Amino acid sequence: DVKVTQSSRYLVKRTGEKVFLECVQDMDHENMFWYRQDPGLGLRLIYFSYDVKMKEKGDIPEGYSVSREKKERFSLILESASTNQTSMYLCASTTQREKLFFGSGTQLSVL
Amino acid sequence: LAKTTQPISMDSYEGQEVNITCSHNNIATNDYITWYQQFPSQGPRFIIQGYKTKVTNEVASLFIPADRKSSTLSLPRVSLSDTAVYYCLVNKAAGNKLTFGGGTRVLVKP
């Protein structure tokens, strides 16, 4: 079975902390994505990567950065967490023109 | 970018057919249309994908008119467990920026 694994299901951090959200896929997909989801706002794309060490900004990249050092792993970094980054974060992966596989999500609370 | 527009919500009753239409006016020639289902506290999961005309699988049907500027997801005989948010996504042939619309919240009532 294909798998996209997000390192934490729930995370609580303090304002100003540096936060790492990790995502690992076991399908050898070249494309990986980070979305955030807030009530009533659907899925919004933060960053995506189409290859190792490659990254592209999505629709809401401000306050975030990403890292893709290995094909299977895509990390989302909040350099200095703020309360408005409290959200559900979803990682996904796919090959070109195939369906997206999503992780279970990380509910991040920034206090 | 192929931005998508869907109704915000729809109510239905068990046993009825639910049809959700998605507008994607800027779809490019080689783009595909894909639909996902999401339950609370879970990641979205793939339902169906199509390019033109009609596609059917064990879960749903997807109708795409000739101009491909819209698509309709059809859920036959829904049950309470079909209550979820449904998203359409234009799967780009070129480039990898996969941007979702707002989704449609479907509530199935007994």
* Contact of B33 with B23, CB cutoff 8 Å: no
Q: Does residue A61 carry a pLDDT above 60? A: yes
- Does B98 sit within 8 Å of A105, measured CB to CB? no
- Does A58 sit within 8 Å of B44, measured CB to CB? no
Using only C-alpha atoms, chain A has a radius of gyration, in whole angstroms, of 13
How confident is the model over B12-67, as pLDDT tens digits? 999 999 999 999 998 888 889 999 999 988 999 999 999 999 999 999 999 999 99
**CA angle (B21, B24, B26) in 5-degree steps:** 165
- CA A65 → CA A4, A46, A49, distances in Å? 20, 9, 12
Question: Which chain A residues are Cβ-neighbours of B32 within 8 angstroms?
Answer: 97
Please tell me the predicted confidence (pLDDT) of residue B93: 66
Give the whole-angstrom CA distance, residue B38 versus residue B48.
Answer: 13
Please tell me the predicted confidence (pLDDT) of residue B98: 87
Please tell me the predicted confidence (pLDDT) of residue A17: 97
Give the whole-angstrom CA distance, residue B79 versus residue A16.
Answer: 45
CA B36 remoteness from chain centre = 6
Q: Look at the block and give the residue holding tokens 């036959």.
A: B76
Among chain B residues, CA nearest to A59: B99
Please tell me the predicted confidence (pLDDT) of residue A104: 93
Please tell me the predicted confidence (pLDDT) of residue A70: 96
When pLDDT is averaged across residues A82-108 and rounded to a whole number, the result is: 92
Give the whole-angstrom CA distance, residue A22 versus residue A20.
Answer: 6
- Which residues, numbered 66 to 105 in chain B, qualify as contacts with chain A under a Cβ-Cβ cut-off of 8 Å? 87, 89, 91, 93, 96-103
How confident is the model over B47-56, as pLDDT tens digits? 999 999 999 9
Among chain A residues, CA nearest to B8: A40
Please tell me the predicted confidence (pLDDT) of residue B2: 54
Q: Which residues pair with B12 in a beta bridge?
A: B108
Could you tell me what percent of chain B has a pLDDT over 70? 95
Question: Which chain B residues are Cβ-neighbours of A103 within 8 angstroms?
Answer: 43
Could you tell me what percent of chain A has a pLDDT over 70? 98
- Does B42 sit within 8 Å of A42, measured CB to CB? no
HEC profile of A7-60: CCCEEEECCCCCEEEEEEECCCCCEEEEEEECCCCCEEEEEEECCCCCCEECCC
- Half-sphere exposure (Cβ direction) of B15: Cα atoms closer than 13 Å: 1
